[in-house]
Amino acid sequence: MKRKLLFGALNTMALLSASAIMAQNFQTMPVQSGYTADVIANGIGSSSVSTNNDVDGVSYAFVAKDFQLTSTSAAITYGIPVDGIINSVVTATPGLSYTLGNLSGNNSLRLAVTNDSGTLTFTTPKAATKLYMLSTSGSGGSTVSVTVNFSDGTNQQFTSISVADWYTGTNIAIQGFGRIKKPTTPSTASDDIPSPEGGTNPRLYQNELVIDAANQQKLIQSVTVTKTAGTGIPNIFAFSVDAYSDCAPPTLQAPSAITANSALVAWTAPSNAVSYDVYHSTSNTTPTNTTTPTYPGVTGTSTTIGSLNSNTTYYYWVRTNCSSATSQSVWSFAGTFKTACSTFTVPYTENFDTTSTGSSSNNNAPSCWAYLESTSFVGYGYVVASNNFSAPNSYYLYNSSATTGSQMLVSPPTVNLSDGTKRVRFYAKGGAANYTLLVGTLSNPTDPASFTQIGSPIALTTTHTQYTVNVPAGSDLQLAFKHGLGGSGRSIYIDNITVQNIPSCLEPTAVTSSNVAAYSATIGWTAPASVPAMGYEVYYSTSNTAPTSTTVLNATNSATSTTTSAPLSGLSAATVYYVWVRSKCSASDVSEWSVGSTFTTLCAAVIPSYTNDFNTIPGTCWTNALSGGSPATGPTGTTAYWIADGFLNAGTTGAIRMELYSNTRVGWLKTTAFDLSAGGYRVKFDYGVTTFSGTTASAMGSDDVVQFLVSNDGGTTWTVLQTWDVNNTPSNSTNTYIYNLTGNTNPNTIFAFYGSEGSVNDTPDYNFYVDNFVVEPVSLSTSEVSGDKKQIKIHPNPFKDVLNIEETKDMKSITITDLTGRVVKTIDQPSKQLYLGELNAGLYLVTVNFKDGSKSTVKAIKQ
């Protein structure tokens, strides 16, 4: 089977729905008398009031959708329809429905025991070719016989008709309408409470009874139903017929002469035909006998349906007007066709986002477009939900062979495409670099050999790039995007195709950014072939929404230039910006906006005071995705070894740590830049070490180091301020490091934490933690010096009621806060024992305030 799809094949294809089969004429048969039981609970009030029997012999009845136990009970969302109309879901009888008996009166012919019998007399006798029975059997299956009684006194008998149990059968006409348990004595909690029964039960079934040909013109007066076998209780609810008619509908033929706005439909004439009525619609809903025909009284066996919309699916039906007694047939089965595409006018755009995705076995294209190839089974072309320029879809071309296939995406026919004033713009990328794409036109949209290439092959990159191709003068009306082959198994993706007139003012290309700083950047671009007389306009925004011709330019979002670059100032630091450029050829003539570009401004140097509490990792303008190297070289990789954790393994957030256990791990944590020009600052932070999976102390490895570094040139060179190693491993309590920066007045100072396992792969597996990083003005007495400060020690930890402090010298006060920062207790002039029995169990921060103004904080757990 060939995969080749001719252009327009889908537009001219017409599908007929089994119109050679005799159309069905379904009509309901309302019952005048004969029902013996009311088994459907409805309205407001107990089911014992609105029913007089059950379906199954064990107190269960059906429930209507309007049932409420009381007027304030919640309405149910399931149940027998209130109008009593049951639309059958049997696929062989589309459109067949039943009319139930009065929901507030007897509505079932209930046959409790074998040989029970009853007769249902119909309100309006009708002739039929088939009779359909709606029934079910409660508490097991059953078998019935049906005698069809005609108005002339004759009858036709049907025996051994199986009626399935209401929970297990097939040939279902309706299901999932729920049931209710009638009150019992004594009553139970489930009484009078309706239940949907899982959505598929209970069930009513459809039985088909074929009327003999000799009886089909006789009027059916009544039916007598007798239970003949089975443990269940059959309930007969309704009948419908396929009504007899001596006026047959026509048999539809395939439509032809399909254009963008018309189609010729035809049919085969039945006997007794005088004329025909034709009805058409964009809906597939079958017309009724009261529907007004679109074309009434057609005397031939064909007609043209006109005034249609292009590229639209239509449905149509035909019925016969006869000279016989019945006079008019039912409508035929539906025919359908899709009108052709109109010739497109420019501009038009295709982004593939409203087209369903295809596959290698189902090559597809958007409506009015087509996939074309010269040889089957050597490639694919279909819409794919990936590799797009704009989400969600793109068009995928793939070749299996390096030399054959000519896989193409073909556009709709376009008005004056080759008059020399049109161009196409699109985005494309390759699965690898230098895959090629050809753009051209087709003189015959079904013949790949009629392709005429425009310009040189386009060498694609692996990211979407916009290309612009001017269509030269000629006679072809359809564009084609052709796989460049050159190698087998090559993937090409195309997106956002626009066909438009070549503008009088051309847009610039290749927009770039340079000299990016915290508050400024320089934008550059390539001038178009015709340099604009009035220069260029630059639009920038923190939103990636592209500007349009109506976008308002002002002093805060734009710049102008008469050269191919423009400086931008007044930007926000650490912010992503999007930028576009357009040419200005005259006061009233500007180009389209260029393809957008993006840049991110640098972080501004922070003027202290400053705190990073590591609630967000690594912190605004901090960097933790750095690895390798040494303080002499700076980082060389991008692995993040410093990650979020709870300080000293208490919790999982609020601090940052590095795990050291393998000699392959070298990690950096770099701060934002600080402007220390004013002088007089200090840096401090909390730190500590625990085992990797616990809170106990751990030694560092023999050649492990964690160092605190400073750079005064923005991170180019580094100076070590402090080293922790096997000789001064931090404890598993809160340690505070303070370094005096009063002599540092550099406006671009950066700090870093450097951790290395060294070359020896030692046994210890531990975490080095950092928290509460602060740069602040120095306000210290002479008793506080740069470097490590001795920390307070507490015990027991965890504690129950009393917490002991080992050393109280020079303590001024103690503040206790919970993890939200709320102060829960303050103790002035504390002693060695803190009585904290009133605190709730949990984790607290105990801060000792010393008389010299310094502080020390440790975490304590209250049991």
Q: Is the pLDDT of residue 424 over 90?
A: yes
**Confidence class of residue 624 from pLDDT cuts 50, 70 and 90?**
very high
Of 410, 594, 370, 591, give the one whose Cα is nearest residue 501: 591
Residue 157: pLDDT band by 50, 70, 90 thresholds? very high
In a domain, 55, yes or no: yes
Query: Which tens digit of pLDDT belongs to each residue from 334-364?
Result: 999 999 999 999 999 999 999 999 999 899 9
Specify the number of domains making up the chain.
6
> Omega of the bond prior to 186 within 30 degrees of 0, cis?
yes
Does pLDDT of 713 surpass 60? yes
Residue 410 identity:
V
- Is residue 176 in a domain? yes
Say which amino acid occupies 671. Answer: T
Query: Could you list the residue range(s) of the whole structural domain that residue 640 is in?
Result: 610-777
Mean pLDDT over 576-582 rounds to 97
844 vs 817: CA distance, rounded Å: 6
Give the pLDDT mean for 671-678.
93
Mean pLDDT of 43-64: 95
In this structure, the chain runs to a length of 863
* pLDDT given at position 298: 97
CA distances from 10 to 306, 312, 549, 788 (A): 20, 11, 37, 80
Q: Which of 6-10, 97-101, 668-672, 847-851 has the lowest mean pLDDT?
A: 6-10
Cβ within 8 Å of residue 531, ≥6 positions away? none
Q: What is the pLDDT of residue 30?
A: 97
Instruction: Say yes or no to pLDDT of 426 above 90.
Output: yes
Number of CB atoms found within 10 A of residue 351's CB: 20
Single out the residue in 482, 501, 520 at which a domain terminates.
501
Going by pLDDT thresholds of 50, 70 and 90, the confidence category of residue 849 is confident
Partnered with residue 33 across adjacent β-strands are 121
pLDDT for 22 equals 47
Pair 470, 367 in one domain: yes
Which residue, 243, 274, 295, sits at the end of a domain?
243
Query: Which residue type sits at 49?
Result: V
DSSP 8-state code for residue 475: S
How far out from the chain centre does Cα 190 lie?
41
Does residue 174 fall inside a structural domain?
yes
Looking at residue 831, what is its pLDDT?
85
pLDDT digits (tens, 9 = 90+) for 405-418: 889 999 999 999 99
CB atoms within 10 A of CB 685: 22
The secondary structure of residue 553, as a DSSP letter, is: P
For residues 579 and 614, membership in a common domain is answered with no
Give the end of a domain, one of 209, 227, 243. Answer: 243
The CATH number covering residue 857 comes to: 2.60.40.3080
Does residue 584 sit in the same domain as residue 615?
Answer: no
**Same domain assignment for residues 744 and 811:** no
Residues 584 and 713 in one domain: no
- For the chain, the first-to-last Cα distance in angstroms comes to 77
Residue 799 DSSP one-character state: B
Q: Are 426 and 454 in contact (CB under 8 A)?
A: no
What distance lies between CA 152 and its chain's CA centroid?
64
782 located within any domain: no
Q: Residue 798: is the preceding peptide bond cis (ω within 30°)? A: yes
- Among candidates 491, 481, 487, 485, which has minimal Cα distance to 365? 481
The token duo for 860 is: 């304590």
239 neighbors 98 (Cβ within 8 angstroms): yes
Q: Are residues 457 and 557 in the same domain?
A: no
Among 405, 395, 398, which Cα is nearest to 373's?
Answer: 405
CATH number of the domain to which 387 belongs: 2.60.120.260
Band the pLDDT of 189: cuts 50, 70, 90: confident
Note the pLDDT tens digit of each residue in 379-409: 999 999 999 999 999 999 999 988 888 899 9
Does the pLDDT at position 778 exceed 70? yes
- CATH (domain of 577): 2.60.40.10
Q: How many CA atoms lie within 13 A of 241 on its CB side?
A: 23
- The rounded mean pLDDT for the chain is 91
Query: Cβ(491)–Cβ(431) under 8 Å?
Result: yes
Reported as type and span, the H/E element at residue 50 is helix 47-50
- Whether the pLDDT of residue 641 is over 70: the answer is yes
Q: Kindly state the tokens that stand for 574.
A: 């650490």
Q: Answer whether residue 8 is part of any domain.
A: no
Mean pLDDT of 16-23: 42
The three-class DSSP label of residue 48 is helix
179 and 294 assigned to the same domain: no
Q: In this predicted structure, what is the pLDDT of residue 812? A: 85
With respect to residue 265, please indicate whether it lies within any of the assigned structural domains.
yes
If asked whether residues 174 and 51 sit together in one domain, one would say: yes
Are the CB atoms for 177 and 84 separated by under 8 Å?
no
The answer on pLDDT for 264 being more than 70 is: yes
Say how far apart CA 370 and CA 368 lie, in whole Å: 7
State pTM to two decimals: 0.55
Same structural domain for residues 352 and 331? no
Q: Find all residues with CB under 8 Å of 730, minimum gap 6, and list them.
A: 687, 688, 689, 724, 768
The verdict on 432 and 413 lying in the same domain is yes
Distance CA 369, CA 499 (A): 13
Question: Do 393 and 444 belong to one domain?
Answer: yes
Q: Are 530 and 509 in contact (CB under 8 A)?
A: no
What pLDDT is stored for residue 8 in this prediction?
39
Beta bridge partner(s), residue 775? 610, 683
Q: In degrees, to the nearest 5, what angle opens at C-alpha 712 toward C-alphas 745 and 737?
A: 80
3-class secondary structure, 45: coil
258 and 234 in a common domain: no
Cα gap 317→19, rounded to integer Å = 10
Inside any domain, residue 513: yes
Q: How confident is the model at residue 12 (pLDDT cuts 50, 70, 90)?
A: very low
The residue type of 430 is G
**Six-digit token string for 261:** 């706005």
Residue 603 falls inside a structural domain: no
**What are the start-end ranges of the E strands in 386-464?**
394-399, 408-410, 422-430, 436-442, 451-453, 458-459
Q: Could you write out the DSSP letters of every residue in 447-464?
A: -GGGEEE-SSPEE--SS-
